[in-house]
Structure 1
Amino acid sequence: MHPDPQGALAVYRQNLALLRQEHTNQQELPDMKFFLFGMGNRTKLIYQKGRLMEAQTGHIVEQWRVQQALIVPSEYLVHLTLMDSTTVQIREDENGVWIHQPGKSPQLVKGTRNRLNLPTFADKKYGPVLRVLHHEVLINIIAGKPVPNFLVYSRPWFRDAALMGMVMQQTNNLHLIKDWIMKIRDPFDRNNRGISEADNLGQVLFLVSLVSDQKHPAVKMVLDSVKRFGKPLLPSVTDTIAVRPIAQSSTAPHLPDKIYLSGKTDYAEHPVFQTKWIKYGLKSLGLPDPYTIPTVYDSYSALFWWDYTDQHVPGKPFNESSGRNYPYLTWAEDHFNSRTGTLVRRGMVGSVDYPLSWEQQASEANYAGMTILDKNLMKQKLSFPHTWHAAEMFLLLIE
């Protein structure tokens, strides 16, 4: 059993307070007093109001008459003081989810024995917060599939999965989604009303690079599919727009047959974002890259912060409404700005201890899945935690 849950919660709250001091934009969230167990490929469980139940079936695993419940997100722990003053702890570790009672051997919860890696991040400024964000990424892996939120999304989104993959690469957890990546054949997830979104192509190549190589069957399918999104980069496109200087050889001749990618992403054209993704995917696998990033304004350009940051046309930042409903957008934008030497902190931080990530008003989410926690969440069209948001926060804060 954890020896000092009160002390651990105090340390976590101090760390969270420090985060809120430095990232002052705050979003009020309902304080549901729950915790999710079952990271990675484990049975998903919810603790709430004295009950530990399976999240997808509602089946009650255990229930207690509780005097006080102490939820310690950074320790993956719920500490219960029962009406008879005895204590129970539900805790998740690298081997499974356990129920601890004084004087008894720990009880492994059925369906949760599955190995994963849970770093402490003790050497990081936001160590306790990083542990929670890591949890919010891993909790949304279900049957080997990385989804944005397992209660409201039934299928993976390649965009979200790519950011989740970046987190899992850092924490040595790629084995959790390797089988899913190896089975990818369609280079489009088609989650936005069946549209084949151009950015998916680079994301699939990157995901493949995490666990495989150029021989993966999806690679050929991407290379065949990408041709229909290629557009010629005409001299007038770059010659007539004032842009931030792009580092390139002064002796390199202009190539009239340069091409870039352009198609739909979130129902709009985002050629810079899409071209950066295909270039990064090709580079990740050591494949030839014929693409040139167009020097045009693209509102999604700042979402791509890990490479090609010098090839960007500045414009309007995401508005406050976007930052509240889709907070991964402003966290990614903050990361881009930090990489380019501008200290801007617009990313939203929630008002509750847990969870730290969310999404609201998403067009393709089935919010009925949130009623297992509270029916009002469906009315508010609010889901939490959310993997893209958690991953963006994690990847910025760990630096």
Structure 2
Amino acid sequence: MKTCCLLFLLLPLLANAQRPTPPAILTDPAGVLQTYRASLLKLRQAHPNHQDLPELSFFLFGMGDRLKLIYRDGRLINALTGNIEEQWTVKRAVIVPSEYVVDLELTGVPIGQPQTVQVREDENGVWILQPGKRPRLIPGTRSLLKLPRFADNPNGPILRVLHQEVLINVIHGRPVPNFLVYAKPGYHDAALMAMVLRETGNLRLIRDWIMAIRDPFDRNNKGTPEADNPGQVLFLASLVADKSHPVVQMALDSVKTFQKENYIAGKTDNAEHPVFQTKWLKYGLKALGLPDPYIIPDQSDRYSWLFWQDFKPKPMASTRQPVSDTEANLKVPYMAWAEDHFYGLTGRGELRGPVGSLDYPLSWEQQASQAHYPGLIVLDKELARKKLALPHARQAAEMFLLLLE
């Protein structure tokens, strides 16, 4: 009898112990936004290539394995169904991307009721916060994440936003470039996203997906087995397992198809890129501690600079390749950011990675052949018409990993 009574008394205490602590209401959203904009101004001064993007004034909530939500025009919308989850009559809205906050001043509210509301995402979930009211955690958003502040980095506020743009594109445990227009991951994009998740302690979000990989090719380019994929798969496997992962031997066997003496060559984006492909293979082998008989071929490869993680040249301006297609760089800006990282010219020379005109998001991609742009209609019909997906996890990852250094 005493045991039952004691358990009855402990149950409320246990429930309180498990209940997440809500975040505080952000007291000066306009001031914090100005601090973030000052960081963006410095970034744009360092990166002279700019891209005007549509002023949509929206924010995405639901990082990682949480319910995906869109805030726009006083509505909080389920991004996958289009259902309106919350709605307010708004006089003024301040979106503070670096704090994952939308601050709303309401109109038409009865006297005595809160005149403001904040939607805020933190390490525990997505919250509705109002003065004088109990904080409310939105159903489907409760899960633990690690969201560093990067306080010691001069790009701290920007890194927080780029981290969010990577995390928002993890859906159902899978890392995709943009969750609205891509149905499945690509291994190159996933590898870069995984590097960010490793840096921030969030790899668990995609661990099960990596453990389940069995095909060494993502087959996202019309089913073509692309020669850079095996190296990327080996690297991904190394993050959560060892050489006993079932896909490792499959990847090693698949490399025989591309064997060219002591390097590999095959199709990536419909062309051979032996330097790029061999680099990825060597990197994957190194990550797993496997024997590496391969040598990076001494030949021209315009994709060589897309791989910056290892085997980089000395940062000499004379090694820089001619300016590539500016229009293409603005449509797939992660390529120019990778080039900046490859040549290591941060603060020491020309930076070509473009920066967009918006506070949020900071990443985008346009007119990609594999994207299903009608998925953007829930956000904005004009984006779907222009085939402009934002944010884009690969660009966010490229920017994050360069600025983190």
Fold agreement, TM-score > 0.5: yes
Residue 400 of structure 2 is aligned to residue 376 of structure 1: no
Shift of 1:105: 1.2
Shift of 1:9: 0.5
Kept in 2: contact 1:309–1:339 (CA 8 A)? no
Residue correspondences, number = 373
The structure-2 alpha-carbon separation of the partners of 1:340 and 1:131, relative to structure 1 and needing over 3 Å to count, comes to: closer
Once the two structures are superposed, the pairs formed by residues 1-399 of structure 1 within 5 Å of their partners are: 1-84=25-108, 86-232=115-261, 259-310=262-313, 315-338=321-344, 343-399=349-405
Between the aligned partners of 2:92 and 2:309, the Cα distance in structure 1 is 44
- The aligned counterpart of 1:237 is none
Between the aligned partners of 2:336 and 2:39, the Cα distance in structure 1 is 21
Shift of 1:321: 1.4
Between the aligned partners of 1:267 and 1:377, the Cα distance in structure 2 is 27
Between the aligned partners of 2:147 and 2:320, the Cα distance in structure 1 is 38
Between the aligned partners of 1:302 and 1:150, the Cα distance in structure 2 is 27
Between the aligned partners of 1:208 and 1:367, the Cα distance in structure 2 is 31
Kept in 2: contact 1:206–1:285 (CA 8 A)? yes
Kept in 2: contact 1:90–1:99 (CA 8 A)? yes
The structure-2 alpha-carbon separation of the partners of 1:58 and 1:288, relative to structure 1 and needing over 3 Å to count, comes to: same
Per-residue CA deviation, residues 370-389 of structure 1 (Å, 9 max, x unaligned), is: 11121111121100000110
Structure 2 length-normalised TM: 0.90
Counterpart code for 1:260? Y
Between the aligned partners of 1:75 and 1:341, the Cα distance in structure 2 is 27
Kept in 2: contact 1:147–1:153 (CA 8 A)? yes
Between the aligned partners of 1:374 and 1:138, the Cα distance in structure 2 is 21
Larger deviation, residues 134-143 vs 370-379: 370-379
The structure-2 alpha-carbon separation of the partners of 1:22 and 1:14, relative to structure 1 and needing over 3 Å to count, comes to: same
Q: Structure 1 stretches of 5 or more lacking a match?
A: 233-258
Kept in 2: contact 1:338–1:344 (CA 8 A)? no
Shift of 1:80: 0.5
Per-residue CA deviation, residues 106-162 of structure 1 (Å, 9 max, x unaligned), is: 111111111110000111011101100000000000000000000000100100000
Helix, strand or coil at the partner of 2:260:
strand
Counterpart code for 1:269? E
Per-residue CA deviation, residues 20-60 of structure 1 (Å, 9 max, x unaligned), is: 11111100000110000000001100000110011010011
Between the aligned partners of 1:92 and 1:110, the Cα distance in structure 2 is 13
Between the aligned partners of 2:176 and 2:217, the Cα distance in structure 1 is 15
Shift of 1:305: 1.0
Between the aligned partners of 2:382 and 2:268, the Cα distance in structure 1 is 30
Shift of 1:316: 3.4
Counterpart code for 1:390? A
Kept in 2: contact 1:39–1:141 (CA 8 A)? yes
Q: Structure 2 stretches of 5 or more lacking a match?
A: 1-24, 110-114
Per-residue CA deviation, residues 258-288 of structure 1 (Å, 9 max, x unaligned), is: x111111111111100000000000000000
Shift of 1:340: 10
Between the aligned partners of 2:378 and 2:392, the Cα distance in structure 1 is 16
Per-residue CA deviation, residues 75-110 of structure 1 (Å, 9 max, x unaligned), is: 000000000460000000000000011111111111
Helix, strand or coil at the partner of 1:289:
coil
Kept in 2: contact 1:78–1:89 (CA 8 A)? yes
- The aligned counterpart of 1:236 is none
Counterpart code for 2:43? L
Helix, strand or coil at the partner of 1:389:
helix
The structure-2 alpha-carbon separation of the partners of 1:65 and 1:17, relative to structure 1 and needing over 3 Å to count, comes to: same
The structure-2 alpha-carbon separation of the partners of 1:368 and 1:124, relative to structure 1 and needing over 3 Å to count, comes to: same
Kept in 2: contact 1:198–1:264 (CA 8 A)? yes
Counterpart code for 2:75? R
Shift of 1:342: 5.9
Kept in 2: contact 1:299–1:317 (CA 8 A)? no
Between the aligned partners of 2:188 and 2:345, the Cα distance in structure 1 is 21
Structure 1 length-normalised TM: 0.91
Counterpart code for 1:81? E
Percent of paired sites with the same residue: 62
Counterpart code for 2:175? P
Shift of 1:369: 0.8
